[in-house]
Amino acid sequence: MTLQQRVESAIEQATGQAARFSTSRIAHGGCINDSRIIDLKDGRQFFLKSHPRARHFPGMFSSEFEALRRLSDADAIRVPAPVACGEEFIVMEAFQEGPPCADWQQQTGRQLAHLHQATVHVQFGFDFDNYLGTTPQPNLWTDDWLSFWRDQRLGWQLELYSRKRGSDRELIHLTERLLNRLDVYLGDVDEPAVLLHGDLWSGNAASDDSGRPVIFDPASYYGHREAEIGMMRMFGGFGPQCEAAYAEVWPLPPGSDERISLYRLYHEFNHLNLFGHGYYRSCVSTIQRLL
């Protein structure tokens, strides 16, 4: 079967209606994947993401399907509802993009806070491992947030980096020092785990045809809510109005700025591992500021 036939079959099984492609066109979204809007002959429209080397990333689309389902079920912020998936593709609801409404930033902040409040969990982690970009992201259930962040986030990124650049002592030594002092920053965190989008930068957010926020392309897990903001601050796009609106619903406790820098470091490290030396100084600078 061709990819088209597999996608048609998956939509049929998920919806109970025959599915035959009419047209497809390249779409924005999912920068590491081929993304398309597909129109069916019966007038229905879906968003399709596929990856030609998906066999090298087992579970990539099934884990995204489950993350989208849980984010959507929270009914706090709009997320494209997942429809079907296979080893090399995921099909989800298509939405029409439009210009953001005047209070898009505030809506986004408030709705993220409501999402976090609605998804409290007793442990940190997820039902299965997933991916941050194409980096495997371990999510073993853990009772203790400090241990989770040390072992499955920063420690994991350091391990990946060490495999590639074992001779680089500066960054490895600095990160090891930071890992040994994590209790300074995370030892007093006394908040429940919540469902995170996990990779929320401006490229993974948009507005629908009513101007309302939409978020997509998650790398979800249950974690400390401030970790969401670490990625949001990395590339901009979510300004002070967004964070202030979040804090109106669920204020951040003292010490949040240092912790958010620590959470941002995870994404800086991931970009270093994915894209190379251009992110090296960013990682070093962040660690030096924290130390």
Q: Tell me the catalytic residues.
A: 199
Place of tokens 């400090």: 146
Write the single-letter amino acid at 86. Answer: G
75 SS3 class: coil
Distance CA 133, CA 177 (A): 27
How many C-beta atoms surround the C-beta of residue 18 within 10 A? 11
Instruction: Find the angle CA(219)-CA(225)-CA(231) to the nearest 5 degrees.
Output: 50
> Are the beta carbons of 84 and 14 closer than 8 angstroms?
yes
Pairing of strands 89-93, 82-86: antiparallel
Tokens of 240: 């002070």
Alpha helices (H) along 44-191: 60-73, 104-118, 145-149, 155-164, 169-180, 182-186
* Residue 256 burial (10 A CB sphere; 0-12, 13-18, 19+): middle
